A and B are shown apart, each in its own frame.
Chain A
Amino acid sequence: MKDNYDIVVVGAGPAGSTTARFAAATGASVVLLEKDRDVGVPVRCAEGVSEAGLTSVLDTIDERWIDNRVSDVMFHSPSGKIVELRFNQVGYILNRKLFDYDLAHMAIKAGAELYTKAYVYDLLRDDDRIVGIKFTHLGKKYKVKAKIVIGADGVESRVGRWAGIKTRTKMRDMETCAQYTACDVDLSSKHLHLYFSSRVAPEGYLWVFPKGEGRANVGLGISGEAAKKKSPFACLNEFMAERFPHASLLNCFAGGVPCDQTLATIVRDGLMLVGDAAHQVNPITGGGIAPALIAGKIAGQVAGQALNQGNVSAKAFQDYPRRWHKAEGRNHQIFYKLKNYIYKLTDEELDSIADAGLKVPKEKRSMITLFRAALIKKPSLILDAVKVFA
């Protein structure tokens, strides 16, 4: 490893690898540092993504990334009513391990260097200027100089904090999650299941994403506030005992998703934040794979451009937040408002939304049908819902 690069990227998740790839493609020297021993492991994800979410950044979709394809979603109401919707595009359940590996490999092929077991613990400064990072590797401390530091360090988002950006996730915006990959479950492989109910998953939802061959990711997220009363694992175990009492479990993990709007500040002089670190997750679904790819591509390109122009000030990076907001960030503001509204709905209200959905024939049903019913007391948000779901 050299002690000086144009760009150092902290974290080799989808956001970091994609940023590194697009930055390296502009000719910049890039090093990608990952604290875990392996890229893509452990997988902390339900692995659902839409086709468009991938193709917006990736030229080809490798079949190895895809465990299963889904076409429909079943919404389960608190009293057990089921509203089925057809997706307007293919949904994939990924193999995130292979997917994340390949994204990192693409960055390497574009010219980036990658080191694992490299734990970044601080920024390197010259007076007030950020000029690199400090990290530990196999028990030794190192410094790396860089013109630009990219914080792609996921939900923890400490790189941004060190630079003085308020990256902390509020308790009510943090979805605290638990998931099992269950096998021997008797389910159609074409249907996703989402459960909304204050009992099953307060201020969040429970998902069942079939992975094919009798396997499924069964997990839930609840807000940090709701978790004060009951932990996500306690909620999930109750559901498993009721719904899949005989399932064998292939794995089990915990995780946190920042279900927020994009942070107000995602660039500083010599620094950018991408992915979960910048709170770029879709706040209503908790989906952060596609946003990480989209933001990573823009951030990588803008970082490369700024280097070529010899200016790495926050001002020179403004194209990144501008393009991100146009592509996704603006919609996330709407999703955030909708999330805050639907998390307040009572179980009775959720049941009546299901009733309203069931009155519309399946071919004509859409997310808008459901949101029209959900927002009956808040019509000002209906137009917003139409904007993001139409």
Chain B
Amino acid sequence: MQQIFLEKIAYNRAVCDFCGACVAVCPHDSIELFEADLCITASCTLCKNCVYVCPVRALEIIDEG
């Protein structure tokens, strides 16, 4: 289990409800969801599916400007 937090996605644990919708739409199985924690692994391609599907908007792409 690789646990690499991509610096390009901000994860807001205080907002996350741990529902798993992001995991289900991830094309590369890049999200690990534990009981009350989530991490994004190296295979992420920044497709943003997780960002959009998240009911509470707990994930955000960090804009590099």
Contact = CB atoms under 8 A, between A and B. Distances in A.
Interface of A: 35-37, 44, 117, 119, 121-122, 154-158, 161, 168-171, 174, 176-178, 224, 227-228, 231-233, 253-256, 258
A224 B52 contact: yes
A174 B55 contact: no
Given A169-B24, A176-B53, A256-B53, 13 more contacts: A37-B35, A122-B1, A156-B33, A158-B29, A168-B25, A177-B55, A228-B52, A231-B55, A232-B55, A233-B56, A254-B54, A255-B17, A255-B19
Interface in B9-54: 17, 19-21, 23-27, 29, 32-35, 49, 52-54
A171 B53 contact: yes
B8 interface: no
B-side interface mostly: loop
Contacts of A161: 29
A37 B19 CA distance: 15
A227 B19 contact: no
Given A155-B20, A231-B55, A255-B55, A121 B32 contact: yes
B56 A227 contact: no
A37 B35 CA distance: 8
Contacts of A36: 35
Contacts, number: 83
Given A44-B19, A169-B25, A35 B34 contact: yes
Top 6 A-B residue pairs of the complex, sorted by shortest distance between their CB atoms = A256-B21, A254-B55, A254-B17, A156-B23, A156-B20, A224-B53
9 contacts: A121-B1, A155-B19, A156-B24, A174-B25, A174-B53, A233-B56, A254-B21, A255-B19, A256-B25
Interface of B: 1, 17, 19-21, 23-27, 29, 32-35, 49, 52-57
Nearest to B48: A228
Contacts of B34: 35, 119
Contacts of B1: 121-122
Contacts of B20: 154-156, 256
Contacts of B26: 168
Nearest to A38: B35
B49 A171 contact: yes
A204 B25 CA distance: 17
A158 B55 contact: no
A114 to B, nearest CB: 16
B56 A231 contact: yes
Contacts of A121: 1, 32
A255 B21 contact: yes
B39 to A, nearest CB: 12
B21 A155 contact: yes
B32 to A, nearest CB: 7
B10 to A, nearest CB: 16
A155 B24 contact: yes
Contact of A254 (B24, B29, B52, B56): B56
| Residue among A168, A169, A177, A254 with most chain B CB within 10 A | A254
A205 to B, nearest CB: 15
Contacts of B29: 158, 161
Contacts of A178: 55-56
B40 to A, nearest CB: 14
A298 B26 CA distance: 29
A36 B35 CA distance: 5
Among B25, B27, B49, B54, the one with the most A-chain Cβ atoms within 10 Å of its Cβ is B25
Nearest to B56: A254
Contact of B21 (A35, A174, A233): A174
A117 B49 CA distance: 28
Nearest to B26: A168
B32 A176 contact: no
B57 A258 contact: no
